[in-house]
Amino acid sequence: MSRAIIPLLAGALLVTLQAGAEDLVSGLSQDQIQITSNYAGTDMVVFGAIESAEAGGGPRDVVVVMRGPDTDMSVRRKVRVAGIWINRDQITLHGMPDYYYVASTRPLLKMATAETLARYQIGLDNLMPKSVSTRTPSKAEPFRQAVIRSRARARLYAQAPTGVEFLSYSLFRTRIPIPATVPRGEYTAEVYLFRDGTVISAQTTPLFVDQTGLERRLYNFAHEWPFAYGLVTVMMAALLGWLSSFLFRRQ
Amino acid sequence: MEIYLPIAEMSVRWLIVLAMGAGVGFLSGMFGVGGGFLLTPLLIFYGIPAEVAVATTASHLTASSMSGAIAQWRRRAVDLKMAGVMLAGGAAGAFAGVYLFSLLRRIGQIDIAVSVGYVVLLGSIGGLMLNESLRAMRAAKAGTPPPPRQIERNWVDALPLKLRFRRSRLYISVLPPIALGFIVGILSAILGVGGGFIIVPAMIYFLRMPANVVMGTSLVQIVFVTATTTILQAVGNITVDIVLAFVLIVGGVVGAQYGVRMAARMPGEQLRLMLAILVLAVGARLLYGLVATPADVYSITTGLP
């Protein structure tokens, strides 16, 4: 969480410094996503407007970053030992988001410098863990890239370089796909307004992804009363086994 | 149609899962085996995390062995005392297995351990079965009955703590059945197999139990060992997915009934040869997964210490 707050504080600071010449308002189409038994993914619309926008001036750009809950990821590298591939080196990346999506009006490097993007952690190249379980950070780099590769394959990390569109001079909108495999937790939608390559305004909105209904109850049951949960599973299995021998004997 | 698995935390197509349960149930009914050795790898190939596949298959085996155990019980073909002694070892084995399982999971070697375990197990059992059934078929073709196995007194008789098992008409030490139960308990926890294909030959050749009680006794023991494993996995690793288990079991128990009917129309030798080939094929597929260069040499686990 604190990671998400830092750029926001910085953003807020900038806004006050620039005397609120251009203010940003944004919203989400939903403030929570409920994972039900037939959840197959959904689209989240992030929209907004730049208030008191005056025509002219330098190019303006909007970046929308959707970030999932931070988690620790243990990344292991396989090596071949006696013909068999086994896990050998392991590095844990602390505080990587479970989900990350960045959409912008133009390709990121065309609208700001790499340093600016790195400061705000915008873009997959700038997505860094809070800390790593190794003293030499350079060693962790291939492991970080492996995470980005693997999450991108699962469509949990993605970049849409022209994903944000301006509907009018001040109105913008983007559509963010939330796949079926998204983890549960608190997400944030961060919206950045760039002018002449610097962030002049930023806003963040929380979003909750949670299981609901029976799924939620089963998940809680399994975690809070594991013994009873195991017993119920066994009883269900025994009952179905008994039922089948009973039913099919009748035929 | 997708169904969300609350413990695996992923969506699967429930029709595919149902079909997998039914297919494995059919084969297990046809060959008279539990089918854990087929179901666990199948679930892993489909993308279910190995730890959830192993633990959930245990509960599937409880159900599939249950109907067989009931049928054998009605025929009075169960040596309950023997099953109880084996279960004592089995429960201890399941405990040890679940502990080992969480240890392997922590150090990140569970997938590889499961695969290697399967390759060794399926390779040796499949090889033995293939050899046996080919020999029997050759003997049948030559017109001579297969040579009966010479049963002689062995080291089993020398062990202490003897107990009388009335239904099996045996007076033997409790140590071999306990040891057998222990091994099967470990296998059930780590590989998600019932272990019938180990218990049955061991009961016949090691313990020398009469053939009429072997099937029933092993089924009763499998019901209880897999039930124990399910509960221990649920408590120790939280890897039992009840939704996945339900869909698999419903498919499995129905498929098994058709498998049993199919088996009645096929000669036993042919069935055994087919089972041997199937066992070896699954083993070969898993071996390929171990030796083939992976698409990505990195793998990621989240949320673990």
What ipTM is given for this predicted complex?
0.86
Q: Residue B288's closest chain A neighbor by CA? A: A84
Which chain A residue shows the shortest CA-CA distance from B254?
A: A244
Contact A236 B290 (CB under 8 A): no
Interface check for A86 against chain B (CB to CB < 8 A): the answer is yes
A36 touches chain B (CB under 8 A): yes
Q: Which residues pair with A51 in a beta bridge?
A: A23
- Interface check A227 vs B, CB under 8 A: yes
Contact B294 A40 (CB under 8 A): no
DSSP H stretches of helix in chain A? 2-17, 108-111, 114-119, 137-153, 213-224, 226-250
Q: So what's the pLDDT on residue A55?
A: 58
Mean pLDDT taken over chain A: 84
pLDDT surpasses 60 at A14:
no
Residue B40: exposure state from Cβ atoms within 10 A (0-12, 13-18, ≥19): buried
Summarize pLDDT for B225-280 with one digit per residue, the tens. Answer: 999 999 999 998 899 999 999 999 999 988 888 888 888 887 777 888 888 898 89
Model confidence at A237, in pLDDT bands (50, 70, 90)? very high
Mutation to test the B interface, candidates A73, A75, A245, A250, most B Cβ within 10 Å: A245
- Collect all residues of chain B within an 8 Å Cβ-Cβ radius of residue A139: none
Spatial neighbors of A160 by CB under 8 A, at least 6 apart, are A101, A102, A103, A104, A174
Residue B147 has pLDDT above 70, yes or no: no
Q: Looking at residues A183-196, what average pLDDT do you find? A: 90
Report DSSP letters for B112-164, one per residue.
HHHHHHHHHHHHHHHHHHHHHHHHHHHHHHHT-PPPPPPP---GGGG-SSEEE
CB spacing of A85 vs B298 below 8 angstroms: no
What is the DSSP-derived secondary structure letter of residue A126?
G
Cross-chain Cβ contact B59/A234 below 8 Å: yes
Question: B74 to chain A nearest CA, in Å?
Answer: 11
- When mean pLDDT is compared across A96-110, A170-184, A237-251, B280-294, the lowest value belongs to A237-251
Structure tokens at B155: 């080291």
- pLDDT at residue A188, rounded to an integer: 92
Joined together, the tokens standing for residue B104 give 């392997």
Q: Give A-chain residues touching B235 at CB under 8 angstroms.
A: 226-227, 230
As a whole-number percent, the residues of chain B with pLDDT over 90 amount to 28
Please give the single-letter amino acid code of residue B256: A
How confident is residue B170, by pLDDT bands cut at 50, 70 and 90? confident
Distance CA B187, CA B94 (A): 8
* Average confidence (pLDDT) over B142-151: 60
Phi, psi angle pair for A186, to nearest 5°: -95, 125
Residue count of chain B, please give it. Answer: 305
Chain A, residues 101-140, CB within 8 A of chain B, namely none
Proportion of chain B above pLDDT 70, given as a percent: 95
Please report residues of A whose CB lies closer than 8 A to that of B6: 211, 214-216, 218-219, 222
> Closest-CA residue in chain A for B10?
A181
Test A242 with B297 for CB contact under 8 angstroms. no
- Tokens representing B139 are 């003997």
Pairing, β A198-211 against β A32-35: parallel
The answer to whether B296 contacts A72, with C-beta atoms less than 8 Å apart, is no
Stretch B203-218: mean pLDDT? 84
The burial of B131, by beta-carbon neighbours within 10 Å (0-12 exposed, 13-18 middle, 19 or more buried), is given as: exposed
Q: What is the pLDDT of residues A97-146, one digit of tens each?
A: 999 999 999 999 988 899 999 998 899 999 999 888 888 878 889 999 99
What's the mean pLDDT when you consider all of chain B?
85
Nearest CA in chain A to B256: A244
Cβ–Cβ below 8 Å for A84 and B112: yes
Check CB contact under 8 Å for A76 and B299. Answer: yes
Q: How far is CA A177 from CA A42, A119, A190, A216, B222, in A?
A: 6, 25, 15, 23, 46
Query: Can you tell me the distance from the alpha carbon of A139 to that of A131, in angstroms, rounded to the nearest whole number?
Result: 13
Residues forming a β-bridge with A103: A64, A160
What's the CA gap between B37 and B42, in Å, rounded? 9
Q: Is A174 exposed, middle or buried (0-12, 13-18, 19+ CB in 10 A)?
A: buried
CA–CA distance, B242 with A211 (Å, rounded to integer): 16
Look at residue A12 and tell me whether its pLDDT is greater than 50: no
pLDDT above 50 (res A16): no
Given an 8 Å threshold on Cβ–Cβ distance, is B300 in contact with A229? no
In A, minimum Cα distance to B300 occurs at A75
CA dist B16 and B281 (Å) reads: 21
Q: How far is A168 from chain B (nearest CA, A)?
A: 39
